[in-house]
Amino acid sequence: MTVSLTSWRSSDWLQPHQTSPEEISGLLDPADRDLSDCETAGLSPDWQLNIAHNAALLCATAALAACGYRASREAHHYRTMLSLKYTIKLDRPVVARLDKLRKKRNISGYERPGTVSEQEAEEMIRLARRIRKAVQKWLESNHPDLVA
């Protein structure tokens, strides 16, 4: 069976969702803020990664909403990030790396604070910036009616 957003919907991993230009900008504007904030001097790598992850999650949420869906509650962040394979066609290796950094964020946030390296934080920031640009380009090409 080919995996797609439609098959995810059939599995109840996604719910139908009607979006608007206001909702999309309401997701992307805070993502831009987070991309700026994550590079504030003096932040620990844990917080830098966390803030950059949030920016990427907001962008992924916007892309999923543009496709007419929102993630169900169970494994919400995981599925939203993974959906980038199907929405903006993000390369599988990039999505896999994004998932590893998501797991690192969870470990540093819930189990072992202080475990994020500067390199991991920098990588998450680069990935979040890449995703933000890709989502913008994808929206302009595929859903120009949602771009404010």
For residue 1, the model assigns a pLDDT of: 36
Q: Domain range for residue 137? A: 20-143
- CB-based contacts of 81, cutoff 8 Å, min separation 6: 56, 57, 60, 95, 98, 99, 102
Question: Which residue type sits at 95?
Answer: V
Question: Is this model's pTM higher than 0.75 or not?
Answer: yes
Residue-wise pLDDT for 100-116, tens only, equals: 998 888 767 666 777 88
Q: Where are the beta strands (DSSP E) in the chain?
A: 14-16, 69-71
Whether the CB-CB separation of 83 and 98 falls below 8 Å is answered with: no
- Is the pLDDT confidence value at 35 over 60? yes
In a domain, 13, yes or no: no
Domains identified in the chain, total number? 1
In a domain, 14, yes or no: no
- Is the pLDDT confidence value at 91 over 80? yes
For residue 6, the model assigns a pLDDT of: 78
In a domain, 134, yes or no: yes
For residue 110, the model assigns a pLDDT of: 66
For residue 109, the model assigns a pLDDT of: 64
In a domain, 5, yes or no: no
In a domain, 96, yes or no: yes
- Is the pLDDT confidence value at 11 over 80? no
In a domain, 1, yes or no: no
Lowest model confidence (mean pLDDT) among 40-54, 92-106, 121-135: 92-106
CATH of the domain at 72: 1.20.120.330
34-59 mean pLDDT: 95
In a domain, 4, yes or no: no
- Six token digits for residue 5: 């957003």
Residue-wise pLDDT for 54-83, tens only, equals: 999 999 999 999 999 999 877 778 789 999
In a domain, 29, yes or no: yes
